Amino acid sequence: MQRNRKDFDPPVVTSVLSSLHVIECSANLFPLREKHVGQNSLFDRETPGKDGEWRFNLSLDAVNYLKHVGCSSSNDFLFKHTISILHSPEYGRDHLDSLRQDWPRIPLPASETLLAHSAELGSRIAALFDTEAPVRGVTSNPIRVELKTLGTISRVVGGSLSADDLAVTVGWGHPGKGGITMPGKGRIVEREYAPDEIEAMRQGAEALGLTVDDAMRLLGTTTRDIYLNDTAYWRNVPARVWEYTIGGYQVIKKWLSYRERDLLGRALTPAEAREVRDMARRIAALNLLQPQLDANYAAAKAKPYDWQTHR
């Protein structure tokens, strides 16, 4: 959870210990599970559990909500539902002024079916953020057709790349005062999509129930070739993928700034070069989820759980 109220960034989901600066200075972190120690909840109401027992990080009200809609209190549906709602662009637009000042208010669906669907979307978001594990169709085979052309590592004059071609030398980062790494301009070529890239986008969009125009709106109407050096580049990183930010920082550009050869002391390994490709595919998959996330948010607020009735 962020403290900066100028804009709202959806939460990052991580399976490993995270820095307090993951979104911005002193970001708030919420564990999925906690060890029960007999303490009261946020609302000063005793929550069930034995001391030393691991349980989901839920208040008593949250446990009761899950019971009323027919879910076991021992599941992560509510956590994943929260992720899916907070990643809905429409939710962010509807509540932008409030989100600048206070904690998010999450509409809870009144049925188990809607909650389970929302949780499934949240699971997909969590998987896309978990860079420690592959995602079938996104970073592991079979790769979805609209993602297969994104971020491919290519050679300017064609042919195969060697290990010597993977040094980052076009000014993505440079040393600043106190050993701080400062981002640089690097080298980007903005261009229109090639015919094969548009066709792949069209096929992938149709599989998702979208048009190619929908896909371009979500990914960007133009694309970029991102250079490591004068020999090698990552081909076809769509505009909105390249511009994707966490905590105000462009994710791929920030990663590159620390990999300049003069700072890193070596060229990238092939696995590191593939990491940029995989970041582009993960971000693209997140962007392409937005219509489903907006529809899920609309369904949740159309038939919300009535807290007053069940108190």
Nearest to 62 by CA among 47, 40, 49: 47
Chain-centroid distance, C-alpha 58: 23
Cα 251 from Cα 175, distance rounded (Å):
19
Nearest to 244 by CA among 111, 79, 89, 138: 89
26 in Cβ contact with 3 (< 8 Å): yes
Q: Within 10 Å of residue 139's Cβ, how many Cβ atoms?
A: 21
Cα 35 from Cα 100, distance rounded (Å):
32
Digitized pLDDT (tens) for each residue of the chain, 311 residues in all: 444 546 778 888 988 877 766 666 657 788 888 876 665 555 444 555 666 778 888 888 888 899 999 987 668 999 999 999 999 999 999 998 888 777 889 999 999 999 999 999 999 999 999 999 999 999 999 999 999 999 999 999 988 898 889 999 999 999 988 888 999 999 999 999 999 999 999 999 999 999 999 999 999 999 999 999 999 999 999 999 999 998 888 999 999 999 999 999 999 999 999 999 999 999 999 999 999 999 999 999 998 998 877 66
Give me 61's structure tokens: 């009200």
Domain ranges of the chain: 33-135+293-302, 145-289
Supply φ then ψ for residue 46, to 5 degrees.
Answer: -65, 130
CA angle 148, 154, 157 (to 5 degrees): 140
Cα 18 from Cα 26, distance rounded (Å):
11
